[in-house]
Chains A and B, each alone.
Chain A
Amino acid sequence: MIDGPRPIFVELADAIADDILVGTYPPDAQVPSTNELAAHHRINPATAGKALNRLVDEGLLVKRRGLGMFVADNAPELLRKRRLDDFEAQFIAPLRTEAQRLGISYAELHALLDKDHS
């Protein structure tokens, strides 16, 4: 509805999730602490903490008392499943809309996708 920047903690949580998805942080790997993240990104530690807690709530990270935060074993699968669910809404729907605006037929769209792929 409103176009504009998303809160910093959401951006940061998504960035870490991306890193988990591509294996930068594999399952069981430790992710940076709140303070490390905050200093690196020059953001308030409370904001960095919110990002990590968001990932914990989503089951992607697990807390180990006194040690830190670690990537959950099933985090990559969880993420892949969630992103697949979102894929159509996030990417296909806008693609269709823009194609319609530009008068690109579905056949032409298919051809474009095939061309990109080859």
Chain B
Amino acid sequence: MTHALRPLKLYLANRYYVLGVPLFIYAVVVVLSIAVVAIIGSMTGFPLSEEIREGTRNNAGVLFSAPGFLVSVGVFAATRNFALALALGATRRSFWAGTTLGFALTSLMTATAASVGLGLERLTGHWFIGAHVFDVHVFGDGDLAVLFVGVFVMAIACLAAGALFGTLFRAYGTVRTVLWGAAMGVVALGLLTLAAVNDERVLAWQDAWGEWLSVSVIAAVAAAFLAGSYAAVRRATI
């Protein structure tokens, strides 16, 4: 455990970057969402019509804004930090454990930011003008648990994917990394096809589990990426 704490400190060395940026991203999403709704509202008048209100509930900014940044954090952790951790006498296993702990902290921060955002959104009557940012369909329409766990597993999946592909890229170069990515895409497509063929069963699960079904799927993806990044890091060289 103490051995994993060293790579964790390495990961956290730039605290603003790995803990602060998710907050910043969500702040930007809030500002942009309010701006968009304000522009629409200024044309259609306030309060917003129920139709437009419903439209803002489809806002997926929280889902799509953070992954790019999170993937890049994963990539840099798996390449630059890996090289320095090994130089300073860490093992691959402790590097992976420490960095994964760091990923968990970043994800926790991201999920907390979203949850606090949801609280503020409710407190302010959806940012005073009826703009939905966190209280949206994809995250269970204001279900705090779905939002928190959903954002958390999404963040972990992105960070782990970055770590996995960053490691593969360093080990195998562009071509084989793209092939690996393509292979994983094929597997994902296969699973989706399987789901489409069995759509009745999937719909039944959807009815039973609600948003927790997609949260579970993302959690499974995150777990797969984490396992993949472990396997890749154990074989990675400098």
Q: Do any beta carbons of A and B sit within 8 angstroms of each other in the complex?
A: no
